[in-house]
Amino acid sequence: MEYINLKIKKINESLIEGYIKIRAKTDGESSGMTWTKGERPVGNIEEQKKALTGILNNQGGIIFLAYVDDQAVGYMSLSGETAERVRHVRTITVAVSKKYWRKGIGLKLMKKGITWAKANNIHKIHLWVWQNNTGAKLLYERLGFEIEGIQKDAGFINNKYVDRTMMGKILK
Ligand SMILES: CC(C)(COP(=O)(O)OP(=O)(O)OC[C@H]1O[C@@H](n2cnc3c(N)ncnc32)[C@H](O)[C@@H]1OP(=O)(O)O)[C@@H](O)C(=O)NCCC(=O)NCCS
């Protein structure tokens, strides 16, 4: 694999702008995400900071960013609810900018998130992936995620209804 100057950083206030920008960029680059181009615009950064206060204060979730040569190229987030009965679970979102696919960045981000979840006593991590997102499914299977169920016609992508696969991993 070619050498790239990759760094994984935990989000902080100064990295929020980079996060919002790479999130908007990756939303528009593939049909793998729930959001389409422009649905989560960059908008007002100060307002975005307010919306992410919980995460910045280590409450409920975490975001890791992948940087190549000081440019944000991908992210993974672990988010969750605070209710007692479900607070042992976190939901994963991951995306890498298309130009950087298949360079090991998604895998590195996922491993970082799993390490964080284990260190923070999270019992289970899970995610939803569109049925036709073969590459992402292979990535998750490689990390020990198992298929837990299929939701019929949960998405509408490129004028077609698409099933959604639920995948999960119990952390021991
Ligand atoms: C899914 C995604 C995050 C993977 O990121 P990535 O940095 O390209 O993944 P990696 O290079 O770390 O891949 C690690 C392994 O996962 C598997 N994999 C990842 N993408 C794959 C693809 N398109 N086809 C086949 N296998 C793939 C391979 O086993 C790969 O190892 P290898 O390259 O040594 O064969 C990226 O394709 C992406 O951002 N897609 C658009 C957004 C999205 O679909 N997010 C997931 C929503 S559920």
What pTM did the predictor assign?
A: 0.96
**CATH T-level assignment (fold) for domain 6-170:** Aminopeptidase (3.40.630)
From residue 30, give the alpha-carbon distance in Å to each of 25, 33, 104, 106, 144.
Answer: 10, 7, 18, 15, 24
> How do residues 95-150 score in pLDDT, each as one tens digit?
999 999 999 999 999 999 999 999 999 999 999 999 999 999 999 999 999 999 99
Per DSSP, the three-state class of 52 is coil
Provide φ and ψ at 97, rounded to 5°: -65, 140
- Determine the atom of ligand 1 nearest the C-alpha atom of 109: 12
Of the candidates 106, 6, 129, 122, the residue with the CA atom closest to the CA atom of residue 62: 122
Predicted pLDDT of residue 145: 98
Residue 80: CB within 6 Å of ligand 1?
A: no
Residue 54's pLDDT band (cuts 50, 70, 90) = confident
Each residue's pLDDT tens digit, 15-27: 999 999 999 999 9
Lowest mean pLDDT among 1-5, 50-54, 136-140, 162-166: 1-5
Residues 6+ positions from 144 with CB-CB distance below 8 Å: 169
Give the pLDDT of residue 58. Answer: 79
Beta-carbon contacts of 74 under 8 Å, excluding residues fewer than 6 positions away, are 22, 26, 65, 66, 94, 95, 96, 97, 100, 105, 106, 109
User: Does 86 sit in the ligand 1 pocket, CB within 6 Å?
Assistant: no
pLDDT at 57 over 90: no
Give the mean pLDDT of 60-73.
94
Q: How confident is the model at residue 37 (pLDDT cuts 50, 70, 90)?
A: very high
User: What are the φ and ψ backbone dihedral angles of 27, each rounded to 5 degrees?
Assistant: -55, -35
